[in-house]
Amino acid sequence: MIGELTKGSCSKFGAWGNATELGKTIQLRSLDWDFDGPYWKYPLLTVYHPNSNKLGNKWMNIGFMGWTGVISGINEHRLAISEIGVYFPDNSWGKESRFGNPFTFVLRDILQFDRTLNESVVQLQKTKRTCNLLLGVGDGKL
């Protein structure tokens, strides 16, 4: 849960519509972490193929060995997620609390269970968050 505690340094980018040559969605993400930590040495792509609709979508976690939850990934419905830290939150963010749903689990739920961008937006709005992060969802179908 180190990401929840450190709210690491990251970058993300999204473009769609007239901002791209073919009007398609492009979503990029960089962790921007230093090389002193161990994670960059142990990248891992994990692909999930649930054998029942009750267990959710097919999806891929782009992460590291030993990492709990999700910080980047995409599902079969072309929803992609990412997050970055908030450096200067204003009062509209409210107080941070460790009581809530950690962002790594919120992002996993989006990939595992959501089929549309609207479902993801509703989930993000309803979730009691634990820390100030910008959570992004890109929809490759729109």
Instruction: DSSP for 24-70, please give it.
Output: --EEEEE----SSSSGGGSEEEEEE--SSGGG---EEEEEETT--S-
Angle between helices 103-113 and 117-126 (to 10 degrees): 150
Residue 10 sits in a domain whose CATH number is: 3.60.60.10
Residue 15, phi-psi category: left (phi > 0), alpha (psi -120 to 50), beta (remainder): beta
Predicted confidence at residue 2, as pLDDT, reads: 62
Task: Say how far apart CA 93 and CA 89 lie, in whole Å.
Answer: 6
Number of domains in the chain: 1
**pLDDT above 90 covers what percent of the chain?**
36
78-90 pLDDT per residue, tens: 999 988 878 788 8
Residue 12, H or E segment: strand 11-15
Among 55, 72, 66, 68, CA closest to 113 = 55
- Any residues with CB less than 8 A from the CB of 131 and at least 6 apart, and which? 4, 7, 96, 103
Q: Give residue 73's domain range.
A: 2-139
113-138 pLDDT per residue, tens: 999 999 999 999 998 888 888 888 99
